[in-house]
Chains A and B, each alone.
Chain A
Amino acid sequence: MSGYYHQEDLPRFSEMGKNAPDLWKKFAEWYGAVFAEGALTAREKSLIALAVAHAVQCPYCIDAYTQDCLEKGSNVEQMTEAVHVASAIRGGASLIHGLQMRNAAEKVSM
């Protein structure tokens, strides 16, 4: 094995059902329902998925949802803004923990 991530593994995702077919079936049905047109459009859901893919740093998801966003009619400007939303939340999540630091420092300081 030359590395941990392989682009050719992406279309093999369904092989995860080989030893747990019932669980895979449940996951696949739920996944399909999640991304169906609903109160949010399929295009909006795809942009959310792209943002989350960057937050969880999954290269497979980034690949899949970049393609999917384009196939839902989004453009690179919109997709870039979605990634910034994910990045802002990640950055903000780090920064808000700075209050823990300030609280801890305050407690032990004169």
Chain B
Amino acid sequence: MSLVSIGHPLASAGEQLRVLSEPRRQLKPFEQSLAESGLLPLTATGITVLQINVGKLCNQTCRHCHVDAGPDRRETMARETAEHCIRVLAQTDIPTLDITGGAPELNANFRWIVERAKTLGRHVLDRCNLTILTVPSEADLAGFLAAREVEIIASLPYYLEDETDRQRGEGVFAKSIEALRSLNALGYGQEGSGLRLNLVYNPVGAFLPPAQAAIEADFRRELLRRHGIVFNSLYTITNMPISRFLEFLLRTGNYDRYMEKLVSAYNPAAAAGVMCRSMLSVGWDGTLYDCDFNQMLELRVDHGAPAHIRDFDPGALARRRIVTGQHCYGCTAGAGSSCGGATA
């Protein structure tokens, strides 16, 4: 169940921000850490990725989801907003379109967006939950993605069933393996095919991810040995203390310790390489954000930059000052975390 559907206070971005900024936590403000690293104000270095979140509808309800996505969510990007996004791609040289959700493939305009971006010669990423590929109505989806050489970024938090299902729901691991096999059969993850299949690891609990290279080696060995599955790369992503994961942290008494861990593991090199400096995030309604996490906290781009895709101003947005908060420690802990994995 999504937090919204049960009327949980943490469904509100304002309540999440209130919890994160509670002074009793005695945690160093994120901006102070940035200042001590010589990174304040944190500014964008350009826009190499346009990430569009096409909606919160999903066929899964993962326990850590920062979007609070689920089958009950109805927010979805309309064609008009999608057209604005494609127009921005056409008017700029932004090389990569990163499509996320929810399950982005459930948006009625998903295939249109992919087709248009490919026509413009852009690299397209699909952040796929894997199980959507096993839904009968989406039987031709994997073939569609392969034919357009869409890079797939697939969530798989662990190479074992128990851990995966505890985070993503009962039966998800088995369906994910089925989907990965069908992707491999199409050439995804196979050397020389040009069809890239990358997996995403994120911790099944209140702890930081392992070293990316080490856990990638474990996944590669175990998925091949147990299931005959291959993939290109594995990205480690730290669980962000917002939305459902924040609710989990508070409910289980893990919040203080997790935040202290994130703050004590602050890494200036990871802070210098945070993804928000080179990407722009678009919400389902066209609002602009520095990243998908800020989007869920309703922290739109600020400091004078236009905040809607219809007002896109490449000059102002490419040099904008990033909006930060205590949740940003999630991207700067240890080896860093981003939509492309570790950053330091």
Contact = CB atoms under 8 A, between A and B. Distances in A.
A67 B218 CA distance: 18
A42 B208 CA distance: 15
Given A42-B214, A70-B203, 4 more contacts: A70-B205, A71-B203, A71-B208, A72-B211
A40 to B, nearest CB: 12
27 contacts: A11-B260, A41-B214, A42-B211, A42-B214, A43-B210, A43-B214, A67-B207, A70-B203, A70-B205, A70-B207, A71-B203, A71-B207, A71-B208, A71-B209, A71-B210, A72-B210, A72-B211, A72-B214, A73-B210, A73-B211, A73-B214, A73-B215, A73-B218, A75-B158, A75-B160, A75-B163, A77-B160
Interface residues of A, number: 11
Contacts, number: 27
| Chief secondary structure at chain B's binding surface | loop
A73 B158 CA distance: 9
A77 B161 CA distance: 12
A60 B34 CA distance: 32
Interface of B: 158, 160, 163, 203, 205, 207-211, 214-215, 218, 260
Nearest to B212: A73
A70 B157 CA distance: 13
A41 B211 CA distance: 11
A107 to B, nearest CB: 53
A70 B158 CA distance: 11
A41 B160 CA distance: 21
Interface of A: 11, 41-43, 67, 70-73, 75, 77
Contacts of B218: 73
B215 to A, nearest CB: 4
Nearest to B159: A75
> A-B pairs with the 6 shortest C-beta distances?
A73-B210, A73-B215, A70-B207, A71-B208, A71-B207, A72-B210
A77 B158 CA distance: 13
Nearest to A41: B214
A72 B158 CA distance: 12
A11 B26 CA distance: 15
A67 B208 CA distance: 9
B208 to A, nearest CB: 5
Contacts of B215: 73
A43 B214 CA distance: 8
A41 B163 CA distance: 23
B213 to A, nearest CB: 10
Contacts of A75: 158, 160, 163
Contacts of B210: 43, 71-73
Nearest to A66: B207
